[in-house]
Amino acid sequence: MQPIRVFIDGEAGTTGLQIRDRLANRPDVRLVAIDPARRKEPVARAEAMASADIAVLCLPDEAAREAVALAASLPGGGPRLLDASTAHRVAEHWVYGFPELSPDQPDKIAQARCVANPGCYPTGAIALLRPLIDAGLIPSDFPITINAVSGYSGGGRSMIEAYETGKAPAFELYGLGLEHKHLPEIVRYAKLTRRPIFVPSVGNFRQGMLVSIPLHLDALPARPAAGDLEAALAAHYRGATYVSVVATAGLLRLEPEALNGTNRLELFVFRNEAQAQAVLVARLDNLGKGAAGAAVQNLETMFGLASVEPALV
């Protein structure tokens, strides 16, 4: 089998660099290079796309839409596309690139011409909510609050610079207009019919993420025990390569950086049965399963490549 030719459009950004590093030494992949001085020239990008089997878009949303139009103008409609931006996550004719979403999702990704990589926060939120909604343990219209903290690398070049030069605060909430751009995909792919309250935050660490969802169990119509939630999650992800449900006995603290450098996603159900309360938590690397790792997994799924997990850093 010939190596898959991959063009990373936007290779100089954080996600693009991470994807390149994860693919660089693979014998089943050949990276299509472009002169750095010409990386913004449409002609040079079109030439690179035309020579590739797939273009991975690591661009701002509007630039990603322009790249899709550029690809469509090429003979045969251009290469297959994997978009790491927000631009196409709820767009028609794009397949959502979360293979663990449902049993048939890997086949959809494998057959798709255009795949949208999930957002980092939605990966954690959807991973927790979708199985429980499918199981009837949480109603689709239940009032949900999602709290999350990410490392600063998810905020782009200006935020990275602010933190690494000591100009940023140690911790801050943001998105307090309650209109975060990740909400549409959370609503769609978690199968929510009521818009959740989403409160993201950023901490003074480079990468890593925790997404948490508090629940009053006695307010749920099914009145499940926390163990019922954990069992439903475990059943959904049984056999998954990268997603695991972790027992919480004895755990009273959780830090966000434990999975950095991997494509793993851990899910937890913390509980106080006497108070009928639970907190669902997802832990992931925002640059791993939340971005570059997910992109590589999707590329593997699209082309039937062997799954390769990067070493833990």
Q: Which residues are catalytic?
A: 120
Q: What secondary structure, in 3-state letters, does 47-75 show?
A: HHHHCCCEEEECCCHHHHHHHHHHHHCCH
1, 25 contact by CB (below 8 A): no
Taking the C-alpha atoms of residue 250 and residue 292, their distance in angstroms, rounded to an integer, is 32
> 235 burial class (0-12, 13-18, 19+ CB within 10 angstroms)?
exposed
Taking the C-alpha atoms of residue 214 and residue 119, their distance in angstroms, rounded to an integer, is 21
Annotate 186-213 with b (16+ C-beta within 10 A) or e (fewer). Answer: bbebbebeeebebbbebbebbbbbbbbb
Taking the C-alpha atoms of residue 203 and residue 112, their distance in angstroms, rounded to an integer, is 36
287, 207 contact by CB (below 8 A): yes
R_g of the chain computed on alpha carbons = 20
Give residue for tokens 């609503």. 187
Taking the C-alpha atoms of residue 207 and residue 223, their distance in angstroms, rounded to an integer, is 36
